[in-house]
Amino acid sequence: MTDKKVKYGILSTAKIAETQLVPALKDAKNAELYAVASQSGKEQAAATRWGAPFHYDNYRTLLKDPDIDAVYIPLPNSLHQQWAIEAMKNGKHVLLEKPAALKSDDIIAISAAAKEFKVQWMEAFMYQFHPQHVYVKQLLKDHKIGEVKRFRSHFSFLLDLESDNIRLKKSLGGGALMDIGCYSVHAARDLLQEEPIKVFSNARKLSNDSVDISSSSILTFEHVDAVIDCSFAEPPSNTYEIIGTEGSISVPHAFRPDASPDGGKGRVIVKDRSGSVVEDVFFEGNAYQLQVEHFSDCILNHKEPIYNGEQSYNNMRIIEALYQSQG
């Protein structure tokens, strides 16, 4: 046991850092917020709001601070690879916001740098650390719903499609599949514990930048079909359902349980083969905090994260194949 805490720096003042990671760092048992850097002059105000002891007016200066152990990178997707490797060259461990990069080759480069500079890195699919997801995996292990036959997932929210949002910019790695569909791809692979044999996707795109604003995809596994929908043009929803020969498991707030109407709790509903509810269980927990604590524990105890570079590579290969099938 150790009382040591991992000191984190944050590259940028992104909203997700302020609303999710900063509170998670403050609540984590083995981590602390140490510094923030911005290249747009917002670092001092952010440091004051967040309670960060130090702030820097550019990313490289933060990375050269010898007291910082790890960095969280919530920059636009197109900048992930560059700054992850730059951080690693400076001996920093990296918690990298999803998707980790734009191509699977970029993830190979990130993992190679981590190995070369002897640091840890992890793609930030935070939802997988929430107790509800852990419980679903145990239900599947116990064959609660028999043999799994189908996986369904839907992730959507309403985005102003006339806005200047980076999610609508193809050059920055935007697109519904890249931004939110990646969660469903990850969940299918993680819950089924295998890789798909073939995939297909159809998308609706913005005419001005050809970025996908919604898509419907099919992932064909050896014995299971996975259907994945995502959209920037539909009301908020983030669910997954697993259907088996003896019943089903549904998670109505799968990826953002913190935003659920059930007081921010996760929920798992199990039905038998007749459709009767046999379990309706609620789970408390902060997925972001649990993610930070897991990654920090890996740093402190020199362990590989449960979601490693190979897994990130495999997830991105599927996303690449889905985009390729869209044409």
* pLDDT one-digit tens code per residue, 50-98: 999 999 999 999 999 999 999 999 999 999 999 999 999 999 999 999 9
Clarify whether residues 101 and 198 are in a common domain: no
pLDDT digits (tens, 9 = 90+) for 33-44: 999 999 989 999
pTM of the model: 0.95
The answer to whether position 48 is within a domain reads yes
The answer to whether position 321 is within a domain reads no
Clarify whether residues 42 and 165 are in a common domain: no
Full domain range(s) for residue 30:
6-124+289-302
| Residue 253 per-residue DSSP state | B
Clarify whether residues 96 and 43 are in a common domain: yes
Clarify whether residues 135 and 238 are in a common domain: yes
Mean pLDDT check: name the lowest of 22-26, 40-44, 249-253: 40-44
Report the number of distinct structural domains present in the chain: 2
Clarify whether residues 139 and 273 are in a common domain: yes
Q: Is the CB of residue 54 less than 8 Å from the CB of residue 31?
A: no
The answer to whether position 241 is within a domain reads yes
CB atoms < 10 A from the CB of 284, how many? Answer: 12
CATH number of the domain within which 264 lies:
3.30.360.10
Query: What mean pLDDT is predicted for residues 200-204?
Result: 97
Clarify whether residues 208 and 194 are in a common domain: yes
Which is more confidently placed, 267 or 208?
Answer: 267
Clarify whether residues 94 and 56 are in a common domain: yes
pLDDT of 209: 78
The answer to whether position 318 is within a domain reads no
- pLDDT band at 199; cut points 50, 70, 90: very high
Query: What mean pLDDT is predicted for residues 165-169?
Result: 94
Give 240's contacts (C-beta < 8 A, 6+ positions apart).
151, 152, 153, 154, 184, 187, 191, 250, 251, 254
Query: What mean pLDDT is predicted for residues 237-261?
Result: 96
Percent of the chain with pLDDT over 90: 94
pLDDT digits (tens, 9 = 90+) for 101-156: 999 999 999 999 999 999 999 999 999 999 999 999 999 999 999 999 999 999 99
| Confidence check: pLDDT of 180 > 90 | yes
Amino acid at 158: L
| Confidence check: pLDDT of 1 > 60 | no
